[in-house]
């Protein structure tokens, strides 16, 4: 993919008692802020100059102010440990990750291209299955997918869109190329933390927002509302939209409540809804009120005990039936996870070519399918250099990070892959890009990724940036907050207007 060519300015001279960027060295990794010791990338010039004038003590005081703001604002996430749910304050590093607007515009086009193709693929899989008939994707890959739902065959959601909210994870390799690492098309989370990171940044770094052309992100809740409203089966200027949550013990409950509040929508659990005459109603103190659209944050198998898991206490009986009959909008639609499978991920460049007759604007990470005999032999022979992922896990669980693995772990994964090759795929361990991160009394490079959020309903929308997740442990490639990762605000900077 073509990358924006940015000329770095001359090295900054060290200020008295200030931070010396000449001491910062990302080594052989591509750094998002610094191109070489003392040299800032053009979009990061203002940030680097600002920090250069500060002492590490002053920078730490701003980090402490950010940590306090996060506690006061109640920004938290839940982790599961030894059978307990533990609420923790959201970890945010105040030094932002910066991308030039010119590069971002290319990425935005690529993300929309990918989302369009993914939705065409899902709609085809549940209807004509032409891509299988044309043998672009082997039929057995779909037949063996746990995310393919027979109950969805023949369904026709509005606009042919199944995944209305997608979070595609992007990573940058050592040569500066940005790749799509994976797609999250079921119930992607993290956008509330993107929004709150920006709110905190504005509180602790207000001078930078006054002087630089940083693209805003605060329109996301209104864009999400408009996307959901476009799914309403009724012609009304004021559709009833609800956010459906599994409850307070879910790890993303903060986000569920946050988005409902920001959209002015009701936050409901499955027991708050009832289906009568194949229509969905919400129980209120005034009686039953018709619901038009449900932004569901519940996995498919818990959504409706009539259609999926009979023992589910989280869903609403009859909800799937009401959706199939077109009486309620569901985002994301049941069955969208068939394209969330990490094995399907490897075919997405072919999917884009098949449906759109276009080359992918953002490439996939080179990948190996363990179900393929040749690929499997290569993976097993090179486990120490591979990242091995189960097809349908999320949150960084069940993975093998080859370069950081032990012999025992590699032996365990060898057995797992041989037992169920369909469930595993592998990718070479990339030299993930880094960004300066405040680590006690020093600024050090840490690896990161980026999750932008793409909306598709009647029209498309892509967040200006997204949630940057950072591996806070030195040398670690695992960025998930549930496993010790943190986050950064993501700034898309218009260098041409500066």
CA–CA gap between residue 345 and residue 339 (Å, rounded) = 7
Secondary structure of 109-139 in the HEC alphabet?
HHHHHHHHHHHHHHHHHCCCCHHHHCCCCCH
Cβ contact 154:126 at 8 Å: yes
Residue 462's pLDDT is what?
98
CA–CA gap between residue 147 and residue 185 (Å, rounded) = 11
Residue 422 per-residue DSSP state: G
Q: Residue 40's closest CA among 493, 452, 450, 442? A: 493
Asked whether residue 7 carries a pLDDT value surpassing 50, the answer given is: no
Residue 100 phi, psi (nearest 5): -70, 140
Q: Residue 332's closest CA among 303, 359, 306? A: 303
To which residue do tokens 């969330």 refer? 340
Cβ contact 42:6 at 8 Å: yes
* Local confidence band at 10 (pLDDT 50, 70, 90 cut-offs): very low
Residue 81's pLDDT is what?
55
How far is it between the farthest Cα atoms of the chain? 74
Please write the tens of the pLDDT for every residue from 419-449: 999 899 999 988 899 999 999 999 999 999 9
Mean pLDDT of 392-419: 86
Pick the CATH number of 368-428 from 3.40.50.2300, 3.40.50.620, 3.30.1490.270, 2.60.40.10: 3.30.1490.270
Asked whether residue 2 carries a pLDDT value surpassing 50, the answer given is: no
Cβ contact 383:413 at 8 Å: yes
Residue 6's pLDDT is what?
33
CA–CA gap between residue 443 and residue 431 (Å, rounded) = 20
* Local confidence band at 476 (pLDDT 50, 70, 90 cut-offs): confident
The CA–CA distances, whole Å, from 84 to 6, 79, 191, 249, 250 equal: 48, 8, 25, 10, 12
* Strand, coil or helix: 99: strand
Please write the tens of the pLDDT for every residue from 83-98: 566 778 899 999 999 9
- Show the tokens assigned to 5: 């060519």
Q: Give exposure, 104-130, as e/b (b: 16+ Cβ within 10 Å).
A: bebbbebbbbbbbbbbbbbbbbbeeee
Please give the model's pTM, rounded to 2 decimal places: 0.91
* Local confidence band at 342 (pLDDT 50, 70, 90 cut-offs): confident
Q: For all residues of the chain together, what is the average pLDDT?
A: 91
Residue 497's pLDDT is what?
64
CA of residue 484 relative to chain centroid, distance: 17
Q: In CATH, what class is 115-166+218-356?
A: alpha beta
First CA to last CA across the chain, in angstroms?
Answer: 26
Residue 23's pLDDT is what?
87
Residue 8's pLDDT is what?
37
Angle ∠(416,421,426) on CA atoms, nearest 5: 85
CA–CA gap between residue 453 and residue 189 (Å, rounded) = 9
Residue 355's pLDDT is what?
98
Cβ contact 434:34 at 8 Å: no
Please write the tens of the pLDDT for every residue from 94-121: 999 999 999 999 999 999 999 999 999 9
To which residue do tokens 């996301």 refer? 220
Rg of the chain, C-alpha, whole Å: 23
Please write the tens of the pLDDT for every residue from 29-72: 999 999 988 889 999 999 999 999 999 999 999 999 999 999 99
Asked whether residue 9 carries a pLDDT value surpassing 80, the answer given is: no
The CA–CA distances, whole Å, from 57 to 19, 63, 440 equal: 10, 10, 10
Asked whether residue 498 carries a pLDDT value surpassing 60, the answer given is: no
- Show the tokens assigned to 98: 């910066």
Q: Residue 436's closest CA among 171, 172, 98? A: 98
CA–CA gap between residue 490 and residue 197 (Å, rounded) = 8
- Show the tokens assigned to 409: 């772990």
Cβ contact 81:474 at 8 Å: no
Please write the tens of the pLDDT for every residue from 123-139: 999 999 999 999 999 99
> Do the domains 115-166+218-356 and 368-428 sit in the same CATH topology, yes or no?
no
Question: Which is it for the CA torsion 474, 475, 480, 484, positive or negative?
Answer: negative
* Strand, coil or helix: 106: helix
Q: Which of 15-24, 171-180, 237-246 has the lowest mean pLDDT?
A: 15-24
Residue 61 phi, psi (nearest 5): -65, -35
- Show the tokens assigned to 166: 């997608």
Instruction: For the beta carbon of residue 275, count every other beta carbon within 10 angstroms.
Output: 21
Please write the tens of the pLDDT for every residue from 349-400: 999 999 999 999 999 999 999 999 999 999 999 999 999 998 876 656 788 9
Cβ contact 173:433 at 8 Å: yes
* Strand, coil or helix: 457: coil
Measured in residues, the chain has a length of 498
* Residues linked to residue 279 through DSSP beta bridges, in sequence order: 276
Cβ contact 89:63 at 8 Å: no
Asked whether residue 3 carries a pLDDT value surpassing 60, the answer given is: no
Cβ contact 471:396 at 8 Å: no
Asked whether residue 329 carries a pLDDT value surpassing 90, the answer given is: yes
* Residues linked to residue 368 through DSSP beta bridges, in sequence order: 426
Strand 266-268 vs strand 273-276: parallel, antiparallel, or unpaired? unpaired
Please write the tens of the pLDDT for every residue from 225-276: 999 999 999 988 899 999 999 999 888 999 999 999 999 999 999 999 999 9
* Strand, coil or helix: 182: strand
Domains in the chain: boundaries: 115-166+218-356, 368-428
């Amino acid at each position: 993919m073509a990358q924006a060519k940015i000329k770095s300015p001359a090295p900054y001279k060290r200020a008295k008692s200030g931070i010396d960027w000449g001491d910062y060295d990302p080594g052989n990794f591509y750094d998002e802020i610094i191109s070489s010791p003392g040299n800032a990338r053009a979009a990061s010039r203002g940030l680097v100059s600002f920090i250069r004038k500060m002492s590490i003590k002053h920078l730490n005081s701003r980090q402490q102010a950010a940590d306090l703001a996060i506690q006061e604002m109640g920004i938290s996430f839940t982790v599961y440990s030894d059978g307990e749910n533990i609420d923790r304050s959201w970890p945010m590093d105040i030094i932002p990750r910066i991308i030039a607007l010119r590069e971002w515009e290319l990425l935005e086009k690529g993300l929309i291209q990918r989302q369009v193709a993914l939705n065409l693929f899902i709609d085809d899989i549940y209807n004509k299955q032409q891509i299988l008939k044309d043998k672009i994707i082997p039929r057995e890959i779909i037949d063996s997918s746990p995310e393919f739902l027979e109950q969805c065959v023949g369904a026709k959601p509005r606009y042919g869109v199944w995944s209305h909210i997608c979070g595609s994870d992007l990573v940058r390799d050592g040569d500066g190329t940005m790749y799509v690492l994976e797609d999250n098309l079921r119930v992607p989370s993290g956008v509330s933390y993107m929004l709150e990171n920006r709110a905190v940044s504005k509180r602790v770094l207000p001078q930078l927002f006054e002087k630089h052309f940083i693209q805003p992100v605060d329109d996301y809740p209104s864009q999400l509302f408009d996307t959901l409203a476009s799914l309403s089966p009724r012609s009304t200027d004021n559709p009833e939209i609800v956010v459906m949550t599994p409850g307070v013990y879910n790890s993303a409950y903060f986000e569920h409540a946050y988005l409902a509040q920001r959209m002015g929508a009701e936050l409901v659990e499955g027991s708050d809804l009832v289906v009568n005459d194949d229509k969905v109603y919400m129980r209120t103190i005034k009686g039953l009120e018709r619901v038009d659209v449900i932004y569901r944050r519940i996995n498919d198998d818990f959504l409706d005990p009539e259609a999926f898991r009979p023992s589910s206490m989280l869903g609403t009986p009859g909800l799937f039936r009401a959706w199939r009959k077109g009486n309620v909008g569901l985002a994301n639609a049941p069955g969208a996870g068939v394209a969330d499978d990490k094995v399907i991920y490897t075919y997405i460049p072919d999917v884009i070519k098949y449906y759109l007759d276009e080359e992918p604007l953002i490439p996939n990470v080179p990948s190996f399918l363990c179900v393929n005999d040749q690929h499997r032999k290569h993976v097993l022979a090179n486990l120490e250099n591979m990242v091995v992922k189960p097809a349908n896990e999320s949150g960084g669980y069940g993975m093998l990070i080859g370069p950081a693995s032990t012999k025992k772990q590699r032996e365990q994964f060898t057995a797992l892959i041989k037992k169920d090759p369909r469930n595993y795929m592998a990718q070479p361990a990339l030299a993930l890009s880094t960004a300066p991160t405040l680590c006690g009394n020093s600024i050090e490079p840490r690896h990161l990724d980026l999750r932008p959020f793409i909306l598709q309903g009647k029209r498309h929308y892509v967040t200006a940036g997204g949630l940057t997740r950072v591996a806070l442990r030195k040398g670690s490639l695992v960025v998930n907050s549930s496993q010790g990762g943190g986050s950064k605000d993501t700034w898309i900077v218009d260098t041409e207007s500066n």
